[in-house]
Amino acid sequence: MRIGFGYDSHRFDASRPLMLGGVRIDGAPGLAGHSDADALLHAIIDSLLGAAALGDIGSHFPDTDERWRGADSSDLLAAVAAEVAEAGYRVGNIDATVICERPKLRPHIDAMRARIAEILGIEASKVSVKGKTNEGMGAIGRGEGMAVYCVSLLETRR
């Protein structure tokens, strides 16, 4: 087994739709970024790449590359999942924590878990997404953006 850790953060940009965990969440400010800025999928990508020691999201999908402008992060995660499988691993489980003051994530958690599981081709029972606020502290607490922490376990395929 191999464990990997991922982190991502993005500022809010109210002019964009919010994509989180591969799900569009209406009625909330979006996130600034080169791609669709899905911070949850980005943290998952980095945790999977980290577990396999295959680099990071920036080395795979540079934000200086026009190919990835407005990219659907679901496609990026699918590409990374294929690379991880090619390296001889399957996803054991994923556990992510999303930190933001708004929107309230509770109503969207199961849709995000289902979508992430679908992209990875695993059961939703292997995908955990948890939401927290930062209790009003710091930049996240002031509502300037969102941060995500994620750990993933990979198992050797045999």
Binding mask 20-59 for Mg ion (x = CB under 5 A): ----------------------x-----------------
**Number of chain residues interacting with Mg ion (CB under 5 A):** 2
Strands 30-31 and 2-13: what pairing? antiparallel
Find the part of the chain contacting Mg ion (CB under 5 A) among 1-9, 59-67, 98-106, 118-126. 1-9
3-state secondary structure of 151: strand
Confirm or reject binding of residue 8 to Mg ion (CB under 5 A).
yes
For Mg ion, the binding residues in 84-123 under the rule CB under 5 A are: none
Query: What is the Cα Rg of the chain in Å?
Result: 15
* Phi then psi dihedrals of residue 22, to 5 deg: 80, 10
Find the part of the chain contacting Mg ion (CB under 5 A) among 6-14, 62-70, 96-104, 136-144. 6-14
Nearest residue relative to Mg ion (C-beta): 42
Write the burial class of residue 82 (CB in 10 Å: 0-12 exposed, 13-18 middle, 19+ buried).
Answer: exposed
CB of 102 to Mg ion, least distance (A): 19
**Going along 14-157, which residue ranges are E strands?**
18-20, 23-25, 30-31, 89-99, 127-132, 145-156
Interface residue list for Mg ion (CB under 5 A): 8, 42
